[in-house]
């Protein structure tokens, strides 16, 4: 019979788990254990030889379980399943998105190196770059939204550090404005500045698109990073992260993880295995709802601009990049409310179904005010350049009935109207 290639969503319930090793249990149990018993001293010796890279792995040999900071069945099965979505060789899961990101930056950058990154970045990443990497002597260049590739190449050359370019770090689409950068073009820039064994890597934080809607490794990136707290976890009940890439790079990431000890716990890994079973249906529903929400907001008299990939105009450069590298417009919708902070807050304070909270990608819809919340730490001038104003509201759309979401938006926007009218009367 011809070999059938199953789609990732069909494998999320079973892939990588052998019931016969767990009393026939249909579901993978939680391996809540710190250490693993060796059958013999010889076996223990062989496991350590592999773990420390003292000899090559023989073809049929599997790395043995030693100690849960190094490996654990829940982590390994989770990593194997995550590899399927991004078609990656290997994956490492972390106790948070930030630990995944900081471990990658620490492993591949050293004092004197140059890091080029896209703006705006996730606040925690931005802080780590400016307050930690700069302190240890890593040079950085931030690219602004819409900046052409030639301008970026010029900035790298003009920096005098072109020969030390070690990484291009991208976040696309960017939070909260959904600005996109062309991953393929930046991977060509990285190649242009790579020489022999001095490779400039491209790392992409793909949290905003989850493992379904964009596959950076297929666009030429070397590493893809996730806050698994968001779509992958999907239920707003855990914090975790993941990194994926080729074997060579992932050996380095996993080795540093072993020594920083920032791997995910078996219990969180188990929750993530459960989450992965519904990843596709959740994300499908979320993006479907988000398009309905964006279409509704676009035509609302209290709303000025809606920033959503599903509303990009055909023929624009952004639309072309979107067509090339995204499979769906995602479930993050931002918009400018007419007025300012007062109008934005009135809207947020009157939502009844959507919750007023930061984070994203969960089953429930969330709303927040980037300028005073997620992006409060960003420099004001940069914030203006990136259109993060008093008027901007960010929504993460969940799996509720779309009619209920529209009802909620309608009534909360309605409050903005009456609020402004009342103000006028007082005057």
Ligand X SMILES: *Cc1c(COP(=O)(O)O)cnc(C)c1O
Q: Which residues bind ligand X (CB under 6 A)?
A: 96-98, 122, 124, 171, 175, 205, 207-208, 227, 229-230, 239, 241
DSSP secondary structure string for all residues of 181-236: --HHHHHHHHHHT-BTTBPPEEEEE-TTTHHHHB-GGGGT-SEEEEETTTTTT-SS
Confirm if 348 and 369 have CB atoms less than 8 A apart: yes
Residue placing its CB nearer to ligand X in the complex, 288 or 359: 359
* H or E segment and range at residue 10: helix 8-11
Find the residue with minimal CB distance to ligand X: 97
Residue placing its CB nearer to ligand X in the complex, 169 or 296: 169
DSSP secondary structure string for all residues of 336-382: EESS-HHHHHHHHHH-SSSEE-S--SSSS-EEE-TTTTTTTTS-HHH
Task: Give the SS3 label for residue 143.
Answer: strand
Query: Rounded to the nearest whole angstrom, what is the least distance from the CB of residue 297 to ligand X in the complex?
Result: 21
Residue placing its CB nearer to ligand X in the complex, 126 or 343: 126
Query: Rounded to the nearest whole angstrom, what is the least distance from the CB of residue 416 to ligand X in the complex?
Result: 27
Helix orientation angle between 97-108 and 247-260, rounded to the nearest 10 degrees: 110
* H or E segment and range at residue 79: helix 73-86
Q: Report CA torsion sign: 43, 20, 84, 34.
A: negative
Query: Rounded to the nearest whole angstrom, what is the least distance from the CB of residue 151 to ligand X in the complex?
Result: 24
Task: Give the SS3 label for residue 11.
Answer: helix
Mention every residue, 6+ apart, whose C-beta is less than 8 A from residue 222: 187, 190, 199, 201, 202, 203, 245, 246, 249
Query: Rounded to the nearest whole angstrom, what is the least distance from the CB of residue 422 to ligand X in the complex?
Result: 37
Query: Rounded to the nearest whole angstrom, what is the least distance from the CB of residue 124 to ligand X in the complex?
Result: 5
Q: Which positions are catalytic?
A: 69, 122, 205, 230
Query: Rounded to the nearest whole angstrom, what is the least distance from the CB of residue 98 to ligand X in the complex?
Result: 4
Residue placing its CB nearer to ligand X in the complex, 177 or 207: 207
Please tell me the distance from the alpha carbon of residue 137 to that of residue 401, in angstroms, as a whole number.
50
Please tell me the distance from the alpha carbon of residue 177 to that of residue 306, in angstroms, as a whole number.
9
Residue placing its CB nearer to ligand X in the complex, 302 or 371: 371
Residue placing its CB nearer to ligand X in the complex, 190 or 242: 242
Task: Give the SS3 label for residue 24.
Answer: coil
Helices marked H in 262-301: 266-277, 279-298
In 3D space, the residue among 405, 413, 393 whose CA is nearest the CA of residue 354 turns out to be 405
């Amino acid at each position: 019979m011809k070999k059938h290639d199953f789609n990732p969503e069909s494998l999320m319930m079973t892939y990588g788990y052998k019931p016969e090793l767990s009393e026939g249990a249909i579901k993978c149990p939680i391996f809540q254990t710190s250490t693993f018993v060796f059958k013999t001293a010889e076996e223990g010796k062989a496991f350590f030889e592999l773990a420390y890279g003292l000899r090559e792995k023989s073809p049929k040999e599997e790395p043995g379980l030693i100690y849960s900071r190094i490996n654990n069945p829940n982590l390994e099965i989770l990593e194997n399943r995550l590899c399927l979505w991004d078609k990656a060789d290997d994956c490492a899961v972390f106790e948070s998105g930030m630990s995944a990101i900081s471990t990658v930056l620490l492993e591949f950058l050293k004092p004197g190196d140059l890091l080029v990154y896209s703006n705006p970045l996730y606040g925690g990443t931005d802080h780590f770059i400016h307050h930690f990497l700069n302190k240890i002597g890593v040079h950085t260049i931030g690219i602004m939204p819409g900046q052409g590739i030639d301008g970026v190449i010029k900035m790298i050359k003009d920096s005098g550090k072109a020969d030390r370019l070690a990484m291009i770090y991208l976040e696309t689409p960017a939070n909260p404005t959904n600005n996109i950068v062309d991953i393929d073009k930046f991977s060509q820039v990285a190649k242009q500045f790579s020489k022999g064994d001095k490779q400039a890597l491209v790392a992409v934080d793909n949290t905003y698109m989850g493992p379904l809607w964009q596959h950076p490794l297929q666009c030429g990136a070397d590493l893809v990073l996730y806050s698994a707290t968001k779509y992958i976890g999907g239920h707003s009940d855990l914090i975790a992260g993941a990194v994926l890439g080729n074997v060579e790079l992932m050996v380095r990431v996993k080795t540093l993880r072993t020594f920083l000890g920032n791997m995910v716990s078996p219990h969180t890994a188990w929750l993530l295995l459960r989450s992965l079973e519904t990843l596709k249906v959740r994300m499908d529903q979320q993006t479907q709802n988000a398009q309905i929400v964006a279409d509704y907001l676009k035509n609302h008299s209290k709303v000025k601009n809606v920033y959503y990939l599903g509303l990009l105009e055909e023929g624009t450069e952004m639309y072309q990049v979107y067509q090339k590298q995204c499979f769906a417009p995602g479930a993050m919708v931002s918009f400018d409310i007419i007025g300012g902070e007062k109008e934005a807050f009135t809207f947020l304070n009157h939502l009844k179904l959507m919750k007023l909270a930061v984070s994203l990608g969960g089953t429930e819809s969330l709303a927040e005010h980037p300028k005073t919340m997620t992006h409060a730490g960003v420099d004001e001038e940069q914030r203006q350049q990136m259109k993060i104003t008093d008027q901007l509201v960010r929504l993460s759309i969940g799996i509720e009935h779309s009619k209920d979401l529209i009802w909620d938006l309608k009534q909360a926007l309605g409050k903005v109207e009456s609020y402004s009218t009342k103000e006028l009367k007082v005057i």
